Structure 1
C-alpha cells in the first residue's frame, strides 16, 4: 500500500483535473495530522518531532530554550492544519484525541509561566530576536481568522494568565522587515480582545511594513521572494479583514490594493498542473505561497482571480508533494523539497518547520458558497495558450514570469539579486526542473560559473598587486574553484528582449571587468541567449542547463552532434528532456554527473557549454545559445533544434553601441540585441 495521500472518491464533475473539493481538503488535513500525531501518546504529550541531524536546529548541546522553541514551532505550525479542522468541526479527533482540547491544553501550558512546558520570557534570554516571535505571529494570524477554534474555549482567568507571556513577546524586539508582521498580528489580537498594548509601537510597525511596498503587489524582503506573497499579502489580508479595516483603514487600503495587484500575476508563478517553483529560501515551506489563492476571496473588492482556476492550482500544488512517499520523513513533511535534502534547508529550520506549507488550508475558513469552492475547476489562460509562451514582466521586483504552453511549465527569471545563492541567483527557475546546488568544479545547473585563470589569482596575490607590487596573502585555493554570479541586475525589457547583468565578482575585485551582459528571447519551450562577455582577464566559464535526476538509479541518456555551424547536446530521462545548442562564443559542450546537488535524486546529469580564454586581455564576445526543455519522450525534431534562421553579429550597432546582433527566427520574427547604455539601466 502506498504510504502517501491518495484522493479517494474524487469529484471529477466539480473538479475535473484534481478531483479535490472541500471534503477532500478536510480528508487531506486529517491524513497529515494522523501521521504527525504518531508522535503523540496522549492529550498530555507535547508535540515533539525527532530532531533531524545536520544544520537545522536544535543542535547538540543547544540551550534548553532552543528545544522549547522547536516544540513550540511544531505545535504552532501543525495548528495550521488543526485550526481549520476545528473550525469546520469542533469535535474533530485525531488518534482518539480531540484536537480542540489538545491544542487548548498545550498552548495554555506553553503560555502559563511556571509550567514545565512554558515558554521562556524575553527577559529570561539575552536581548535579541527569537523564533518564538515568528510562531506567535503564525498562531495569532490563525486566531484572528478563526478565534472560535480555541480562544473561546478558555476561561477569562486562563486568558489573563496567558496574556502575560503573549504580551511580552508581542512587544519584544523583532527583525527589520517581514518579522514586524508577527508583532503586528499578535499586538492586534491583544487589542481586539480588550488587552492593553503599546499603540504607538503597533503603528510604528505598520508604517515600517507599508514602507516596504515596492510595486506590482510586491514588498522588499532582503531580496524579493515568496515571503512577499505569503507574509506581506496572506498574513496582512487576514489582518485587514479581522482588525485593520476597523482600526487602521489607511494601512489596510495599502495592503488591499497591493493584494489586488498581486493577484493579476499570481497564477503565472504556477505550472499548468499547479506545480510550484522551487525558488528563494525556506523552500521546505513549499506550498505556503498557495495560501494566496483562498486569500483572494477574502479581499474587500471582488478579485480578478477565477475561483475554479484558483482551486485547481491550489489543489495541484498540494498534490505535487503529499502524493509522494519520499516527501515524508519520520511521518511528517521532510526538510527539503521532494525529500530529505540537507543542502536545501537553512539553519533556522527545525523538524516542524515544513508544516507552514499548509497555509493554504485557511481555505476551510471560506464559506461554502465562496467561488473557491463552488466554481468548476478550469485551467485559465492555459486553455488558450496552445504551444506559445506567455511572458509577464514585473519591473518592480525585477521578475519575469514565463508560462510555456508547449511544456506546461512555468519559469521565474530573477533580476534583482545582490548575493551568490542558488536559491536566488540562477538564470531561471522552472516548476518541473527544480534547481541544483552549485558545483565548485563547474557545470553548475542554470548558472554561469566562472573561474579565474589570471596568474595573479592563481598565485594568490593581493587584489591590488598590480598597483602596489606587494604579494599579500590571498586564498589561491579558493580561486581554483568555480564561482557563480555575485549579483544579478535587472536592466529592463526592450523590443521583446529581456536584459540583465550577471556580476561575476564584486568590489574590490570587480571594477567593471567581471560582467556578463545577458539578453534573452523567449521561445516555446525555452530561450535564446545572446550574452556578451566583458571578462577582463584570463578565465574559464561554463553555462549549465537544468539538471536531470537519476530516478530509480537510471542515468540520463546524453547525445551530442554538430551540424550547420552549431553544436548540439541533449540529455533525457523518462518524461523529461533538455537540449543545449551553441552557435558562437563557446569551445565545446560537455556533461557531468553530479552527486548530492539535485532536489529529486542524489545523482544527476547536467549538460553544459564550456570556454577557456587565456589571453591577458580577452576580447568581448557574444555567446549565443539556445536552451530547450520538454516533458515527454519524443525525439527532438530538426525544427525544434533549429529555432534560429540567421545570426548577424555586429561590432557597432546602429544605435552606436559595441557588439550586438540581429537574430532572425525560423518563423520570421526579428530581434535586435543592443546593449546600448546597459550599465545605466541596471537596477538591483
Structure 2
C-alpha cells in the first residue's frame, strides 16, 4: 500500500486543478478505510485503534466506560466514510469484509446489552454528560441522511433490542450549545421511525439552538469557531431536509436562512488550492468544515456558490492531508494537523476522533447529476483577483477573512476571543503558515508576548496590596515567563482599517493598564500594523511573525539589514518566506529557533520585534510594523520591502483622540489610524 493517497487517472478535463471526480472520492474513501481496517482481523473483530500516549483518552487506569467510548467513537466516526460508501454500493467490501454487514453487526452489539462492547446506559453512570452523546449525534445524522445503509437491514426484533440504549442516551443530559444538536438528531431519528420521544424536550433543544444564531450565518460556540459551520450548519441542514421541514418548518427556516448567509463567506476560509486554515480547537478534525460545500447543494433554493469552485476547494482540502505521508499514524489520520503533535490536541479526543474530518463525504449522498459533480473545476474569485487582497468582514462573530491573490493564501483574523488560547488568540491565522504553540521565552509566532518588569511582579508582591491590604497570589517565578493576550476584543472596521484590542493582563491586576490597541491595514501578501500600547508599568514585548518549519531538518535562512532607514529581517524555507519591517516604537529585530511548537516540523524559526520599557510610568506609544509573506522562492525586491512612503505621528488626531498616525503607502493610498473612543466600541 502507498504511504499516502494518490489520485490515479486524474480527470483533468472535468477537474483541471485536482483531477478529483466522484469516482476519486469513492476511491479516497475506500483507501482510508482499507488502512483503518488493517486493525480488523475479521467481521467479528471490533474496530479499535492503538491508544496514543499523552493527553488524549482513554488514560491509563481509566474506567471501563472510557474504553467503550473510544471504541464507539472509532466505529461511529469511520462510518462517516463507510455510510456514504455503502449508500453508493451496498455490496462494497474492504479487506474482504462487507462494510454493510460489519457496521450492522457492530452497531447492534454496541446498542444491545450483554455484548463485550455494549455501551453503558446513562442510568449506570454518574449523572453527567458523556462523549457517547456526541457519537449518537454523528451516527444518526448519517442515518437520517442515508437510512438505506444499515437501519433498513435490521429486523423489528433487532431494532427493539437497541431501542432502550438509543432512547435513553437521546433523552439524557447534554451540555452547552452545539451538543444539543446531537440530542436533536437522535430524538428526531426516533420520532421519524415511529418511536415515542419527549417532544417538548426536542422542541426545547431546537429553540435553544436557534437562539445561538449571532448573525452572518454564525452561531455562538464558546468562542466563534469551526463548530459553527460543521455542526450548526452541516448537521442541521441535513436535519432540515430529512426531518425539520416536515415537523418543525419555522425552526427549519431559521436554520435555512443562516446557512444561506454562511454560504456567502464560506469560500473565503480556504486558500486558492483549497487549503484549510489551522484555527480553533479540535484541529485534528481538519476538513470537517469542507462539509459545507456539499451542504450548499442540499439547500431549498439554488445556492449562489459556484459548484465547480465548491468541489475544487473541497477536493483540495482533502488532498492537503491525504496526500502526505506524515498525515498517517498507525495507518489512520494522526492526532495533529499534518502529523502527530501533542500540543494541538484536546483531552476529549481519542485515536478515532480524526475520522470526523471526512464529513465532506456526505457529498456521495448527492445525486450523480448534482452540479457539485457535473460542474468543471475552477478557481472562483481567485481567477480575477490578481495580486490584490480581498477582505470579508463578519461583524457578528468578529472575524475578518482575507484572501491574498499575491500568495494564494487565506487568513482568519479573529476579534472576539475570550481567553488565552493559541487556537484562537493569535493576531492572524494563515492557510499556508500554520500556527505555532506559545513560547514562554518570547518570540511567539503571530502574537504579542508580554513580560512584566514591574519590580512588584519581579518580587512577587500583589500590585494592589499597598492600596487594599489584601494579598493576591503573584508568583515571581511565573512572572519571569512571557505571557500572551488574555482575550481579544473586536472594535469594528472603519475607513478600511480593522480595530481590535489585545488585553494582556486581566484584573485583579488592573486590566485597563495592560491594553494594546490594534489597527490592521491589509496589504497584498501582508499587513501593516499600527498598534498603540497602553501598558502602565515596566515591561518587555515581542511581536512574532509566522513560524517557518525546518522541513527535513533544514533550517530557515535568516537575513537582517537596513533599508530606507528601517530595520528589516527576512527568513525563508523552500516555497515560503516572511519579512518583518519595523518603522516606529521597537528597539530591534531578532529570531529564535523553537522546538516542538510547529505543526509541520519538530523545529522552526520565528522572526520577531522586541522592545523593553523600564519607566515606572511608560508613555503611550505607537508600534508600526509591516509583516509580509510569500509562497515562492523569489528574492524580496526593494519595492516589496518598501510598502510605506510616509508616516506622520499625530499626538492628537483630527477627531481629538490621543496618539494616532497618518500613513501614506507607496501606492499612494492614505490611511488615518485613529483610536477615537475605541474602548466604547469593544465587543467580545
TM range (shorter): over 0.9
Please name the residue that 1:607 is paired with. 607
1:347 matched to 2:347: yes
- Map 1:77-96; keep pairs closer than 5 Å: 77-96=77-96
Distance 1:673 1:24 in 2: 50
- For residue 562 of structure 1, report the CA deviation from its aligned partner: 1.4
Distance 2:537 2:401 in 1: 34
1:189 matched to 2:189: yes
How far does the alpha carbon of each residue in 1:325-356 deviate from its partner, in whole angstroms, 9 at most, with x for none? 00000000000000000011000000000000
Q: SS of the counterpart of 1:476?
A: coil
Please name the residue that 2:361 is paired with. 361
Distance 2:472 2:152 in 1: 68
Distance 1:463 1:279 in 2: 35
How far does the alpha carbon of each residue in 1:606-625 deviate from its partner, in whole angstroms, 9 at most, with x for none? 00000000000000000000
Instruction: Check whether the contact 2:504–2:511 (CA below 8 A) recurs between aligned residues.
Output: no
Please name the residue that 1:579 is paired with. 579
How far does the alpha carbon of each residue in 1:180-238 deviate from its partner, in whole angstroms, 9 at most, with x for none? 00000000000000000000000000000000000000000000000000000000000
- For residue 2 of structure 1, report the CA deviation from its aligned partner: 4.5
Distance 2:283 2:466 in 1: 43
Please name the residue that 2:509 is paired with. 509
- For residue 563 of structure 1, report the CA deviation from its aligned partner: 2.6
Please name the residue that 2:404 is paired with. 404
Q: SS of the counterpart of 1:572?
A: strand
Distance 1:283 1:101 in 2: 32
Backbone CA RMSD of aligned residues = 0.8
Distance 2:486 2:511 in 1: 13
Please name the residue that 1:324 is paired with. 324
Stretch moving more, 210-219 or 559-568? 559-568
Q: SS of the counterpart of 2:483?
A: coil
1:665 to 1:245, Cα distance in 2 relative to 1, 3 A:
same
1:472 to 1:209, Cα distance in 2 relative to 1, 3 A:
closer
- Map 1:267-666; keep pairs closer than 5 Å: 267-468=267-468, 474-666=474-666
- For residue 163 of structure 1, report the CA deviation from its aligned partner: 1.1
Distance 1:279 1:542 in 2: 22
Distance 2:479 2:583 in 1: 29
1:49 matched to 2:49: yes
- For residue 498 of structure 1, report the CA deviation from its aligned partner: 0.5
- For residue 564 of structure 1, report the CA deviation from its aligned partner: 2.2
1:395 to 1:472, Cα distance in 2 relative to 1, 3 A:
closer
- For residue 116 of structure 1, report the CA deviation from its aligned partner: 1.8
1:244 matched to 2:255: no
Distance 1:195 1:229 in 2: 30
TM-score, length-scaled by structure 1: 0.99
Distance 1:365 1:577 in 2: 41
Distance 1:564 1:378 in 2: 42
Aligned length, in residue pairs: 684
Q: SS of the counterpart of 2:116?
A: coil
Structure 2: 5+ residue stretches without partners: none
1:290 to 1:472, Cα distance in 2 relative to 1, 3 A:
closer
Distance 1:338 1:511 in 2: 37
TM-score, length-scaled by structure 2: 0.99
How far does the alpha carbon of each residue in 1:149-179 deviate from its partner, in whole angstroms, 9 at most, with x for none? 0000000110111111000000000001000
Structure 1: 5+ residue stretches without partners: none
- For residue 473 of structure 1, report the CA deviation from its aligned partner: 5.0
How far does the alpha carbon of each residue in 1:399-455 deviate from its partner, in whole angstroms, 9 at most, with x for none? 000000000000000000010000000000000000000000000000000000000
Q: SS of the counterpart of 1:187?
A: helix
Distance 1:429 1:586 in 2: 23
- For residue 474 of structure 1, report the CA deviation from its aligned partner: 2.6
Distance 1:247 1:633 in 2: 57
- For residue 511 of structure 1, report the CA deviation from its aligned partner: 3.6
Instruction: Check whether the contact 2:503–2:511 (CA below 8 A) recurs between aligned residues.
Output: no
Distance 1:471 1:506 in 2: 16
Distance 2:166 2:196 in 1: 12
Stretch moving more, 493-502 or 114-123? 114-123
- For residue 470 of structure 1, report the CA deviation from its aligned partner: 6.5
Distance 1:601 1:325 in 2: 13
How far does the alpha carbon of each residue in 1:500-547 deviate from its partner, in whole angstroms, 9 at most, with x for none? 000001111134100000001001000000000000000000000000
How far does the alpha carbon of each residue in 1:70-120 deviate from its partner, in whole angstroms, 9 at most, with x for none? 000000000000000000000000010000000000000000012222100
Q: SS of the counterpart of 1:512?
A: helix
- For residue 395 of structure 1, report the CA deviation from its aligned partner: 0.2
Distance 1:288 1:330 in 2: 21
Distance 1:469 1:23 in 2: 72
How far does the alpha carbon of each residue in 1:219-278 deviate from its partner, in whole angstroms, 9 at most, with x for none? 000000000000000000000000000000010000000000000000000000000000
Distance 2:311 2:506 in 1: 44
Q: SS of the counterpart of 2:416?
A: coil
1:15 matched to 2:12: no
The list of structure 1 runs, each at least 4 consecutive aligned residues, that deviate by more than 2 angstroms after superposition, is 468-474
- For residue 462 of structure 1, report the CA deviation from its aligned partner: 1.4
Distance 2:342 2:482 in 1: 22
- For residue 472 of structure 1, report the CA deviation from its aligned partner: 5.9
